[in-house]
Structure 1
């Protein structure tokens, strides 16, 4: 299958790309992440992704528009639903791109993270697949969590310490705000 892979960053792409390629899929990446804050972090993630794509001969389109304003317009006063809103923004865009570019399916590196809400991602992506008449390829990439970390370190890729949004940045560095890991990955 021709698969459009939504990528949030280089390190989170390592394992999913390896798995998808090993399954015989032709994979192209798409970086669309209006949630990332601050601007320097956005730029660092793009650079790491470019480095990764060059090392792995991985074609990736990069939306270099810093979309923080639009992201904040969606989530301000809805902070408790921010992940769902963020998934909606990113996955809808990717599903639409997959359909418009004639891909057989789309998926996302968000399914690699232990910190993302997999059931919610899957539900939203499956609904978008129907909306845009393109298949959503679900795969739980979390089993390769450590392998992806080890490979990204060996590749000397910048590895970010939080999901990217301003709220997760606060949770990462403000110990009073941290959520227990076991509740996040379901």
Structure 2
């Protein structure tokens, strides 16, 4: 199916809308969901990823994985380019004030923003369930991700809290073998700062 493929008026009973942050994190999530009997469609809504060229590199990597594994992918930014802008993420972070520097405070807000959008899309498109590739990472707060997913689930829409971490090593291996872009930090500028802040110190 082409990128930005939209499901028909009715989707299969085993359909699942999988929020996807990037290509490498998606590989074994897709394979695991298929093993569970689900038919995943990828949904890329990630206004937390900065700067824009980084966003595009990750989106291209996701599309490469989708093509290789023959998975439909929905790109909200194709119909609405503002979906690629950081505005909604910045607005969500603003109430935190200086506490935004604390990843323990900002990450749950970020999860909630993206999963709320995914749940809204799932309902609009008729998907009976949704999940997220965020549950693949060993570095994310799984309890907060699951809480956000369950918060936005409800009648007619289930959240699938599958622990995709057992596929971590295989996902790394395949992403390297397939030459999929592998990001060096989580996504936002603050996480990029956390990743590289040691380099700020001048060396004698």
Considering the TM-score relative to the shorter chain, is it more than 0.5?
yes
1:176 Cα deviation after fit:
8.3
d(CA) in 2 for partners of 1:83 and 1:133?
A: 27
Residues in 2 aligned to 1:15 and 1:51: alpha-carbon distance in whole angstroms: 14
Is 2:65 aligned against 1:52?
yes
Where in structure 2 are there 5+ consecutive unaligned residues?
Answer: 1-13, 78-82
Which consecutive unaligned segments of at least 5 residues does structure 1 have?
178-186
Contact 1:36 1:42 in 2 (8 A): yes
The residue that corresponds to 1:118 in the other structure is 142
Q: Which residue of 1 aligns with 2:198?
A: 175
- The 1:176–1:117 alpha-carbon spacing in structure 2 relative to 1, beyond 3 Å, is farther
1:103 aligns with 2:127: yes
1:148 aligns to 2:188 (yes or no): no
Asked if structure 1 preserves the Cα contact closer than 8 Å seen for 2:128 and 2:156, the reply is no
Question: Which residue pairs with 1:11 in the alignment?
Answer: 24
Cα root mean square deviation, aligned: 1.5
Residue matched to 1:31: 44
Does residue 2 (structure 1) correspond to residue 15 (structure 2)? The answer is: yes
Following the alignment from structure 1 to structure 2, what is the Cα–Cα distance between the partners of residues 168 and 63? 24
Q: Distance in 1 between matches of 2:152 and 2:198?
A: 36
